[in-house]
Structure 1
Amino acid sequence: MKTKHIFKPALLSLAVTSAMYSGHALSQQNNTNADPEVEVIAVKGIRGSLMRAQAIKMDNTSIVEAISAEDIGKLPDSSIAESLARLPGLAGERVGGRTSGISVRGFKEDFTGTSLNGRELIGIGDNRGVEYDLYPSEIMTGATIFKTTEADLMVQGIGGTVDLQTVRPLAAQETLTFTGVYEMGGNDSDNPEFDNKGKRLALSFVEKFADDTIGLAVALATTESPRNERKYGVWGYSANDDGQFTPSGLDTQAISRELDRDTVSAVLQWRPTDNLDIAVDVLNIDYSDSGVIRGFIEPFNAEPTSLSGAGTSVSGTQVGVNPVLRTDPAQKDGELQTFGLNVKYNIDDNWSVMLDVADSQSKKRDLRGESYAGLARNGATDAFGTRDFQMSPDGVFFTGSTGLDAFADPTLLQLTGPQQWGGGMANIADQFASSVNTIFIDEDGNPVPFSYLNAQDGFLNYADFEEELTTARLETEGFVEWGIINKVKFGVNYSDRYKMKDNKGFFATASSYPYSEAIPSQYLYNGLADLTWAGLGQVVAYNGFAPYNDGEYTLNDAGLLEPDRLGDTYTVDEEVITLYAKFNFETELGDFPVVGNFGAQYVQTDQSSTGYLGIVGSNYAVCDDDSNGVVDADCIQNGGDSYSHFLPSINVSIEVGDNRFVRLAANKTISRARVDQMKASGFVKFDQNIDLIAIPNSEADVDRYGSPWSKFQGNPSLSPLEANNFDISFENYFEDEGYVSLALFYKDLVNWTDEGRELIDFTNDTTNEGANYFIPGFHDRIIQATDLYGPANIAYNAGDLVTPPDFGYYSYFQDGLKGTVKGAEITANIPLGAFVSALEGFGIAGSATFIDAELDNGNPIPGQSDEVFSLTAYYEMNGFEIRVAATDRSEFSTYQRGGSNKIDPATRDAVTQVDAQISYDFEGSGIEYLEGLRISLQGTNLTDESEETIDGNGIVTLRREFGPSYMLNFNYSFY
């Protein structure tokens, strides 16, 4: 059948040429054979990568962005994340100093679809979003970011779709390439057991056999990458009656970690005939991210008469200083495996059928121990220290101290818990009954013995995650002559997802309880840890896992002691069937060529979740009324729902001039709700703080002052987030490597997950069949000293019984929130030599994204920055290349892993990151044995940009300083 094509052959030839050189087809599903008369333009380096990306963008009827193998392989990137973060409309989010998350048009990665060769890709985290830094650059050949959707695009999201691509060996050149990278952090390690040096090694090859009917592509990569971080944090700030701000508590640490990652990617392709193509691909990633978080955590009290200054510019003296030296060893281990089979059969010259099946599995254990050390066990001394401090909007810095020399002397420092944090062990109080007395005296003048309240010396905190996704897709496509419609595609896609989280923890008590002992010498490292950058001096460094490994700590399962931990354990299941049809058309509007596609998806979803409602019982245990270690049946929660969606889409591309295009798109998209919000689990929690317990028993006072009671529950019946999207783009391609474009987009959010909140009576919870959660002796308190208590300054005498208010807030998730997103993207790739011949080889590539978005409840969208800028300046000539890339994003809302392995909201301050690279390719050097060699020196975060979280007063509550990173890269292609 003869099919009419209005677009110029030169455009498609450029796309084909690009595909031949970069080693992958431009389409994620179709391989294109080059016309033998087309001249192959083998342009290397950044200029070649820009040409290939531009060809993909030009040849697509949707609004897309793209990166090619040269982008990923040669920019200063250890993963694809940094390369993606430079694209127009995208913004990177750092996790632990590495760019990991990617926002597309203001939507965090949980609301962006991610696929690998067109198949949905899973991650290893708490939610749906993919951790892009998990994927080494060496195994990827390209990526296409769909900002508008098409009916045959199975992986969608409100933000867009990121499709990562690996090589198809029969469409690639044969090659054998070795890569070696020496990495060095710009900051030395503050912890003596770690350093700042690492390496990456990779070997990849593509071979063809049996007259080019069998192709094999294999990539092996191993990484050892250091990370040294300085973390400043506080529990929050409060202002006194004079408006002077001071911290409520400190959380300052020196963090050292190392990422070890081994990756195997293999693709076997067999084309026994021209009509049959079979590809099998395997990806396996093993990784470990281990290290230590070492520093001080403690409450903060300032001597009122010592304060001077105003607002946040305050100096004074911290008194009653009783720090906890936390040594938290961390070990995160995970594995991700994907297996895929793709079979395509050409029925005749016009029709073909394709079957694609895949299975992906991931698992992870995120383990963090806590080992405490201090001046003495809580209750054994009141001989505390002092510190002088200076406050500013950047936080608090210490200028001197007294009485704290023990923290640098391992013979004086005690392996014990200096703060009273053991309240969670109330139901096993008998285990810690003691005849030894603390220094405290009760209201009757009697000494107070050590008890479970003084018995927490550490905590072993971990969460296990498992996920599996099975997909199957069957489709047929063919060329037709149905008026303006020249191609059709029909198909069905099935996916089955399972995700599990098991939130676990153990209270740790040292064998010396109720006494304390110095840290055993065999635990100690040579040298001290450095906290002088925070004004906290040097502190003892020891192995925090050692007391767990050798039995020094007695462990008690916290899963049945803390309701919020059991209330964060769950499974979620989803089964989705998608029917779809897509129609390509080609016509003319006046003298203007018009191409595009329209179609729709019908999506049927069944979802369910199983979890627990964690409640403390009369025996002080959580969901264990029989004290047998088994969760009570009435705590088990189940829920789910079924729903369907009709998702139409249309994309139109009009060539209004020579290589000038206007693109229009309209579609409806969905993003499934966050997994942690869909859980059936929940909990009822009580805060043992006396100032919250001593609140008057009225709804008005609870609304004003707060409450020790809280209840939270997920919602397994949440519908997907839903948006109607409209896009228009103007693109002017004036050179093979030069273009400018302006894109405008509007998203009408018709359903977003809202946070519900209502005041309930915790002695008669109507949301849980009238349950009464109050337990005498556990939820009340005997006053130890006559004083004023609570925010209302109520007077109590020693011996008085204080009972909490009946009321508190119940939080949950619900559908129905709406919002709007309006944005503009300006992009320009400018080869300066096209305008001034003396500037041949020089160029700039930049973009600016502006977003105006807000949900109807006034909250921001997670991942949204109002402004994102990216600029790359480069020079390339005769194998020599230098480039500098800068990205800048304004303040944005996000969420992160918080206490007890739960997800907490956060606000990140604006960040600007500058990377650079200088390299030389010996291919044109004339030295034969060096012609396959390329050497580059790369640097990331050259301006030492910090990651900061600020509060409503504009004061830094969390700052992470990572420092720059440098890499010396050797890449040698044997053929």
Structure 2
Amino acid sequence: MKKTRLFKPALLSLAVSSAMLTGQAYSQETSAAEQAEDVEVIAVKGIRGSLIRAQAVKMDNSSIVEAISAEDIGKLPDSSIAESLARLPGMAGERVGGRTSGISVRGFKEDFTGTSLNGRELIGIGDNRGVEYDLYPAEIMTGATIYKTTDASLLVQGIGGTVDLQTVRPLAAQETLTLTGVLEQGGNDSDNPEFDNNGHRYALSFVEKFADDKIGIALAIASTESPRNERKYGVWGYGENNGALLPSGLDSQAISRVLERDTISGIFQWRPNDDLDIVVDILDIDYSDSGVIRGFIEPFELDAASLNGSGANSTGTQINSNPVLRTDPAQKDGELSTYGLNLTYHLNDSWSVELDVADSESTKRDLRGESYSGLARNGAAIADADQRTRDFIMSPDGITFTDSNGLGAFADPTMLQLAGPQPWGGGMASLADQFATDALRADGENYNYINAQDGFLNYADFEEELTTMRLETFGLVDWGMVTKVNVGVAYSDRFKSKDNKGFFATASSYPDSQAIPADYLYNGLTDLTWAGMGYVVAYDGFAPYNDGEYTLNDAGLLEPDRLGDTYEINEEVTTLFAKFDFETEVGDFFVTGNIGAQYVQTDQSSTGYIGIVGSNFKVCDADNDGAIDADCLIDIEEDYSHFLPSFNLSVEVAENRYVRFAASKTISRARIDQMKASGFVKFDQNINLIAIPNNQEAVDEYGSPWSKFQGNPRLRPLEANNFDLSFENYFENEGYLSLALFYKDLVNWTRDGNQTIDFTNDVTNEGANYFIPGFHDRTVGADGLVGPDGTTYAAGTYLTPPDTGTFSFFEDGLTGSVKGAEMTAQVPLSMLADSLEGFGLAGSATFIDAELDDGTPIAGQSDRVYSLTAYYEMNGFEIRFAATKRSEYFTYERGGSNKIEEATRSAITQVDGQISYDFEGSGIEYLEGLRISLQGSNLTDEEEETRDENGLVTLRREFGPSYLLNFNYSFY
């Protein structure tokens, strides 16, 4: 005899079936409510209530899932959904600018994890597919479900899993009017005088029902202003210098930014009768992250006679210091809008049909200016040049300075010059005539384009649009074991583009220099004493761009790799799916589950450019009209299909004890930046590379000045066969133990491809010849030259580069495997003694062994992730401390020239805490809707570090803790 059971923890909070499981059919909501009609509902609030509701979702799901839940809209305790997700078992947060933004699931970065909002695919405003989870304020969410295994009806998938964020459904929620106010203070004071460390958040959440509960409206409005003050230590790399490991160059900066985010979420639900349910929802997010990056960047020169020590531990003196004071104003602005319509109609008591359509759009401009200042324009004589020194201490934690001489001008705006102190203008070679001058440098040569770069304006524009449609039917059937059928079709149309732009900036004083104008200056100085670099002038880095002080030249026509990073991507995906739920008894064991499959047809294409320097030394502008030549345009299309089966099985081996097994094939579509059609041919102007002999043996040994790179629009999705086994023991309403084992057989992963090509006859581009006389050749100067192979070249020798070099691209075919185990415990300590009522622990440990066949790491993969939360809640008082730790991991991020760069992050432990009091049971009537909390994040001031193969810090970011004082008042 079959049994249909309503899991016991679900009875404690009927909101689970309506507020948390929003992706399920209305018939399920109604059925659950009818079964529980006569059950006494026990209202449990606060963290214990959240744990109970989340446990009910985990228990009452055919897939292996994790969940977070708020007791009501606006009641999640964190500033963004990202912080809540990062504490869940098998999850790990990645900080971007000090805030948890990225989330990896079972070691897979967010680009390889599907993200949905109420079951619909969600887009972000980033460079790739992954969603920036800190974009979504907690005030508009009621929870999230994380699917670690999939079923055929889960259309938004990823190899790591699926994160489904959830907003309220007003007819299934409690009516409320809640006002939230938060005061924020950063633990670090601002080192830049134009910023501070104070912020705030405000939110209004409203749920109301009308017309005999046939119409429901939910509205959430949230506004955030959040500061971030960062201290960054960086180097260009370390090298051996007289027996010591010392930096090649320095890059230390004081960074101040402010996040401003305004969000509106509106939901209209109309249920005119028992058969029809209509939901319309909108979400609009305006996002700005602006600030300044200010500090020193310079080459490092050692006074060899001053050196004491060796290896990574030494002391000494830096000489001939000529730093560039970089003032980089930054402005990132984005907007995301989503509109959706969901119609559910019950044909009869057993069958229903559902239509869901949605359109999402996002835009972003990520702009960063660079403004250079220093002691003088490069090439000019500087008084007492040999007296500009700094004493230093070098250790594995990097280099620090203890004293300096001759650098006091950096605190004096009347002495500091608005000009580039270093000769960085080589990228403007094609504009040599524009910067030709009779003025002489200190070395007797004429000033030229090399000396003409005083800044750079760097920005990228992103646009994305996603339209989705889904039509499906649900049927309750009696087909032997099969109890429910869900079949349907879905269609999605995605467009994403990137326009990578940049402009070289030259001050109007060129070839001379001038002091920084007084109207650019801020009151106060920037503090770099923490790096041993004293106080420096603070000025508005956008000012010389805005008032025309800088002359701008389009870098897109000068730098082939910038044009080669501009592209459009289009994807059309049609999915047919069918899922069959079953339940039966095998012996004394109650068995449930589902089996199904998806057939996925994909048409994808990309349009872009191949950036090539022409005979006029410009990129793709042979006729000098400022427009991109048509023969640089490239357009590539591809289509393919996948069959994705899935199987989930749950066996109740004893009361509230389950063994679950899942098997599936899943895909994650290739990274957007790897799918671009665009590419470029680049040439290193270093004469030592041009002097490499023209034979393959020499190129293999010494390299080549030539290189070519191109994306691949024909890339197939990343693909994995997944197997999961878990045991779950639910022993209390807020207590369980679980052990999950998983294995992912990676049958296709994107890998780096390399090919040697002839750059005078490129077989990959119709035999193109890239060599340009007068640009790619050199004549040896008066001092002669010794080539990399030891060949001596006399003055006047004419050199041409070798013909061959490397063509780099992306290709399919890499395989690998991921093996892992997750252990989770949620234990109310009242089990041990009545005196511990209200105390509890929730912890998890995830162990992962991942390996790609070529030895490369998987982005987002930490071998070890631990999480522990200790809490106490009783009579309205609540205290919670949470610690998460993840081991070292590989990732990628936005780098120079708006391109993606790889990075390795050191292990990190983050500790958060919260103490709160809910006045509902206080007996003070006018305070009964009030809840006050004090929250702190990154309480241990954890730094973010990257170290090289020698264990030396190459990048360190210090963000400091942050503190939030929260006032939450529910009027009803």
1:928 corresponds to 2:929: no
2:395 corresponds to: 392
Deviation per residue, 1:761-784 (Å, 9 max, x gap): 222322222222222222234445
Cα distance in structure 2, aligned partners of 1:871 and 1:114: 25
1:125 corresponds to 2:126: yes
1:462 corresponds to: 459
2:14 corresponds to: 16
Worse overlay, 881-890 or 774-783: 774-783
* Structure 1 counterpart of 2:426, one-letter code: G
Q: Quick one: which of 963, 966, 972 aligns to 1:966?
A: 963
Once the two structures are superposed, the pairs formed by residues 149-228 of structure 1 within 5 Å of their partners are 149-228=150-229
* Structure 1 counterpart of 2:678, one-letter code: S
Q: 1:7 to 1:36 in 2, by over 3 A?
A: closer
2:278 corresponds to: 278
Cα distance in structure 2, aligned partners of 1:60 and 1:9: 10
Deviation per residue, 1:838-870 (Å, 9 max, x gap): 111111000000000011000110000000000
Q: 1:705 to 1:637 in 2, by over 3 A?
A: same
1:897 corresponds to: 894
* Structure 2 counterpart of 1:362, one-letter code: S
2:87 corresponds to: 86
Worse overlay, 268-277 or 766-775: 766-775
Once the two structures are superposed, the pairs formed by residues 300-699 of structure 1 within 5 Å of their partners are 300-381=300-381, 383=383, 384=385, 385-440=388-443, 447-699=444-696
Give the Å deviation of 1:760.
Answer: 2.3
2:832 corresponds to: 835
Once the two structures are superposed, the pairs formed by residues 748-897 of structure 1 within 5 Å of their partners are 748-784=745-781, 786=783, 791-792=788-789, 795-797=792-794, 799-897=796-894
Cα distance in structure 2, aligned partners of 1:732 and 1:793: 72
Equivalent pairs counted in the alignment come to: 964
Cα distance in structure 2, aligned partners of 1:841 and 1:88: 22
1:105 corresponds to: 106
Give the Å deviation of 1:833.
Answer: 0.6
Q: What SS does structure 1 have at the residue aligned with 2:171?
A: helix
1:717 corresponds to: 714
After superposition, the CA RMSD in angstroms is: 1.6
Do the aligned residues in 1 keep the contact of 2:96 with 2:102 (CA within 8 Å)? Answer: yes
Give the Å deviation of 1:299.
Answer: 1.6
Q: What are the ranges of 5 or more consecutive residues in structure 2 without an aligned counterpart?
A: none
* Structure 2 counterpart of 1:162, one-letter code: V
Give the Å deviation of 1:24.
Answer: 4.4
Q: What SS does structure 1 have at the residue aligned with 2:932?
A: strand
Cα distance in structure 2, aligned partners of 1:941 and 1:914: 5
Cα distance in structure 1, aligned partners of 2:763 and 2:459: 34
1:444 corresponds to: none
Cα distance in structure 1, aligned partners of 2:802 and 2:518: 49
Do the aligned residues in 1 keep the contact of 2:489 with 2:576 (CA within 8 Å)? Answer: yes
Cα distance in structure 1, aligned partners of 2:575 and 2:22: 25
Q: 1:529 to 1:72 in 2, by over 3 A?
A: farther
Q: What SS does structure 2 have at the residue aligned with 1:859?
A: coil
1:136 corresponds to: 137
Q: 1:974 to 1:19 in 2, by over 3 A?
A: farther
Worse overlay, 403-412 or 768-777: 768-777
Q: 1:692 to 1:274 in 2, by over 3 A?
A: same
Do the aligned residues in 1 keep the contact of 2:77 with 2:138 (CA within 8 Å)? Answer: no
Cα distance in structure 2, aligned partners of 1:520 and 1:656: 78
Cα distance in structure 2, aligned partners of 1:825 and 1:764: 54
Do the aligned residues in 1 keep the contact of 2:913 with 2:937 (CA within 8 Å)? Answer: yes
Q: 1:938 to 1:210 in 2, by over 3 A?
A: same
Q: 1:450 to 1:903 in 2, by over 3 A?
A: same
Cα distance in structure 2, aligned partners of 1:72 and 1:272: 24
Deviation per residue, 1:436-466 (Å, 9 max, x gap): 11112xxxxxx31111111110000000000
Cα distance in structure 2, aligned partners of 1:14 and 1:971: 24
Q: 1:39 to 1:973 in 2, by over 3 A?
A: same
Do the aligned residues in 1 keep the contact of 2:231 with 2:253 (CA within 8 Å)? Answer: yes
Do the aligned residues in 2 keep the contact of 1:733 with 1:739 (CA within 8 Å)? Answer: yes
Q: 1:29 to 1:223 in 2, by over 3 A?
A: farther
Give the Å deviation of 1:250.
Answer: 1.3
Q: What SS does structure 2 have at the residue aligned with 1:593?
A: strand
Give the Å deviation of 1:205.
Answer: 0.4
Cα distance in structure 2, aligned partners of 1:870 and 1:10: 27
Give the Å deviation of 1:25.
Answer: 4.0
* Structure 2 counterpart of 1:935, one-letter code: I
Do the aligned residues in 2 keep the contact of 1:29 with 1:118 (CA within 8 Å)? Answer: no
Worse overlay, 945-954 or 599-608: 945-954
Q: Quick one: which of 724, 729, 732 aligns to 1:727?
A: 724
Q: 1:936 to 1:791 in 2, by over 3 A?
A: farther
Q: What SS does structure 2 have at the residue aligned with 1:296?
A: strand
2:287 corresponds to: 287
Cα distance in structure 2, aligned partners of 1:751 and 1:950: 30
* Structure 2 counterpart of 1:225, one-letter code: S
Deviation per residue, 1:17-50 (Å, 9 max, x gap): 5456xx4446555462423211111111111100
Do the aligned residues in 2 keep the contact of 1:871 with 1:886 (CA within 8 Å)? Answer: yes
Give the Å deviation of 1:382.
Answer: 5.2
* Structure 1 counterpart of 2:432, one-letter code: A
Cα distance in structure 2, aligned partners of 1:532 and 1:798: 48
Cα distance in structure 2, aligned partners of 1:28 and 1:298: 59
Q: 1:841 to 1:617 in 2, by over 3 A?
A: same
1:57 corresponds to 2:58: yes
Q: What SS does structure 2 have at the residue aligned with 1:367?
A: strand
1:747 corresponds to 2:750: no
Q: What SS does structure 2 have at the residue aligned with 1:582?
A: strand
Deviation per residue, 1:480-523 (Å, 9 max, x gap): 11110000011000000000000001111000001000000000
Cα distance in structure 1, aligned partners of 2:64 and 2:285: 32
* Structure 2 counterpart of 1:863, one-letter code: G
Identity within the alignment, %: 75
1:246 corresponds to 2:239: no
Give the Å deviation of 1:235.
Answer: 1.2
Cα distance in structure 1, aligned partners of 2:876 and 2:719: 48
Do the aligned residues in 2 keep the contact of 1:416 with 1:510 (CA within 8 Å)? Answer: yes
Give the Å deviation of 1:929.
Answer: 0.2
Worse overlay, 780-789 or 927-936: 780-789
Q: What are the ranges of 5 or more consecutive residues in structure 1 without an aligned counterpart?
A: 441-446
Cα distance in structure 1, aligned partners of 2:227 and 2:22: 35
* Structure 2 counterpart of 1:277, one-letter code: D
Cα distance in structure 2, aligned partners of 1:273 and 1:588: 37
Q: What SS does structure 2 have at the residue aligned with 1:559?
A: helix
Do the aligned residues in 1 keep the contact of 2:752 with 2:811 (CA within 8 Å)? Answer: yes
Cα distance in structure 2, aligned partners of 1:77 and 1:700: 59
Do the aligned residues in 1 keep the contact of 2:13 with 2:43 (CA within 8 Å)? Answer: no
Do the aligned residues in 1 keep the contact of 2:74 with 2:205 (CA within 8 Å)? Answer: no
Q: 1:795 to 1:231 in 2, by over 3 A?
A: farther
Do the aligned residues in 2 keep the contact of 1:467 with 1:499 (CA within 8 Å)? Answer: yes
Cα distance in structure 2, aligned partners of 1:295 and 1:503: 25
Do the aligned residues in 2 keep the contact of 1:28 with 1:117 (CA within 8 Å)? Answer: no
* Structure 2 counterpart of 1:503, one-letter code: N
* Structure 2 counterpart of 1:918, one-letter code: I
Cα distance in structure 1, aligned partners of 2:138 and 2:461: 27
Cα distance in structure 1, aligned partners of 2:71 and 2:406: 58
Give the Å deviation of 1:803.
Answer: 3.5
User: What stretches of structure 1 move > 6 A for 4+ residues in a row?
Assistant: none
2:45 corresponds to: 44
Do the aligned residues in 2 keep the contact of 1:253 with 1:294 (CA within 8 Å)? Answer: yes
